[in-house]
Amino acid sequence: METVLGAVDTFEVIEEYPADRYLPSYLVRAVDPNGRVFHLHAAVDVRGDNIRIVTTYIPEPGEWDGDFRIRRRQP
């Protein structure tokens, strides 16, 4: 959790999923205090006034562009 909180100032929404199954959700790109990029998938409960972190992960370089903002097309 320290990694996530330490990167809040770098959060950047890179994908939106407004029709996700339970709540609208977002894929967020962030950079930890050591300079490592990670992705955070979060669901937003506006009525409940909270955000639910679904998962965080280190993106695979082969699946993303050089700065991990845009997915590469799969053949």
**Sheet architecture: strand order including 25-31:** 12-17, 25-31, 37-45, 50-57
Q: Is 69 inside a domain boundary?
A: no
Q: Is 72 inside a domain boundary?
A: no
Range of the domain at 36: 2-63
What's the pTM? Answer: 0.90
pLDDT in tens, 11-56: 999 999 999 999 999 999 999 999 999 999 999 998 899 999 999 9
Q: Is 71 inside a domain boundary?
A: no
Number of domains, the chain = 1
Q: Is 70 inside a domain boundary?
A: no
Q: Is 36 inside a domain boundary?
A: yes
Q: Is 75 inside a domain boundary?
A: no
